[in-house]
Amino acid sequence: MDSPSRPDGDARTRRGPDAGGLVLLLLPALAVVWVLFGGGLALGLVQALGYLPVAGLGELSWGHFARVLTDPDFIRSLLLTFYIAGTSTSIAAGISILTALLLASLVERSRVIHFMFQVPLTVPHLVIAVAAVFMLAPAGLFSRAAVALGWIQTSADFPLLINDTWGVGIILTYVWKEVPFITMMILAVLRQSGNALLDVGRTLKASPWQRFRYITLPTIFPAVGAASLIVFAYTFGAFEVPFLLGRTYPMTLPVWAYKNYSDIDLLARPEGIATGIVIALVVMLAVVLAQMLTKAARKRGVIL
């Protein structure tokens, strides 16, 4: 009987530092993360629990969390944030799947296309948000182009895409920014084994649709899932784009947290931090799910 394959067999026999040694080696880097991130989170939690001597608050309680969670505005903001993060992530994932499939063979042949797709990854969200204002605002580039082409009579006829009810501007900005990221993740999987599996599918009599349904989708699912969860986590916790392109009411949670935190009334600060901690929990949950998906995919031999 053949013994089960052990892809990590080489790693097991390779000499290297043990777990304790590894922790020691990583300690300088870990200390910075713990102090800056963990310390900040702990300080925020203490303040969210009501310990803010500068504002005359010294008693620890869950009161601020309770007030935040029962505030109708919080629920509206939470729903709006979920809507924007969920919609933009879903649209970006859908476009990314189609783009990756179209580009799969092209990218293999052309490094230029590969490079072009990496460029948007380096552009900050804030720059894209400002560009969205210039293009999508009622007096923006598109509106004026539509007037010039005679599609609309005046700029006022142009649909409201910035600071609008449905967060179109925010969603478009996120979609533009996140499509390359998810596409690159999918392309990495397709380049690794996707095309070879499709060839197998062809010789095993699968039609083009069957190959997409039974080979491509299951192959890229972990990559799409993990990338989408990361994108969701980012868009759920991002502040600058909805701050620039969103409405004043209801606000997304990060904007709401920022407003409370930076309120002139110091008593609003614990509620702002409590909101931030709720955001952090949702983001961490998404990241943990992404990690689980990645781990499950790696166990199956898919490299992400």
Partner 1 sequence: MGDLRIEKLAIDYGARAVIQGLDLDVHDGEMVSLLGPSGAGKTTILKAVAGLLEPSGGNILIDGHSVRGVPPEKRNAVMVFQKPLLFPFMNVSQNIGFGLRMRGQAGGETARHVDHILALTRLEGLSRRKVHELSGGQQQRVALARALVLKPSILLLDEPLSNLDATLRQRMRELIQTIQSETRMTMLFVTHDQSEALMLSHRVALLLDGRLRQVGAPRQLFHHPADPEVARFFGGKNFFQGHIQNGMYHSDFGVFAVGPQDGNGHLRTATIRPEDIRIVPRRAESSGGLAGRIVKTNFEGSATRIVVACSAGELVVLTSQDGFLPGQEVEVTVPPDKLRLFPDA
Burial of 4 (0-12, 13-18, 19+ CB in 10 A): exposed
Contact status: 200 vs partner 1 (CB under 8 A):
yes
Member of 110, 118, 207, 291 binding partner 1 (CB under 8 A): 207
Identify which of residues 4 and 28 has a Cβ nearer to partner 1 in the complex: 4
Q: Which of 63, 192, 193, 289 touches partner 1 (CB under 8 A)?
A: 193
Cα–Cα dist 214/296, whole Å: 19
State yes or no: residue 202 binds partner 1 (CB under 8 A).
yes
Per-residue x/- marks for partner 1, 209-238, CB under 8 A?
-x---xx--xx-x-----------------
CA 156 to CA 123: how far, in whole Å? 31
106 binds partner 1 (CB under 8 A): no
Least Cα distance to 80 among 242, 240, 234 occurs for: 242
**303 touches partner 1 (CB under 8 A):** no
Q: Are 197 and 74 in contact (CB under 8 A)?
A: no
Is residue 116 involved in binding partner 1 (CB under 8 A)?
no
Per CB under 8 A, does 299 bind partner 1?
yes
In the complex, the smallest distance separating the C-beta of residue 15 from partner 1, rounded to whole angstroms, is 24
Contacts 24+ apart (CB under 8 A), 122-128: 123/177, 125/173, 125/177, 125/238, 125/240, 125/241, 126/240, 126/241, 126/244, 128/173, 128/176, 128/177, 128/241
Is residue 17 part of the contact set for partner 1 (CB under 8 A)? no
Which residue lies nearer to partner 1 by CB, 132 or 302?
Answer: 302
The amino acid that residue 164 corresponds to is D
Question: Judged by CB under 8 A, which of 206, 268, 292, 304 binds partner 1?
Answer: 206
What are residue 57's DSSP bridge partners?
A: 52
Footprint of partner 1 (CB under 8 A)? 2-5, 7, 193, 196-197, 199-207, 210, 214-215, 218-219, 221, 299-302
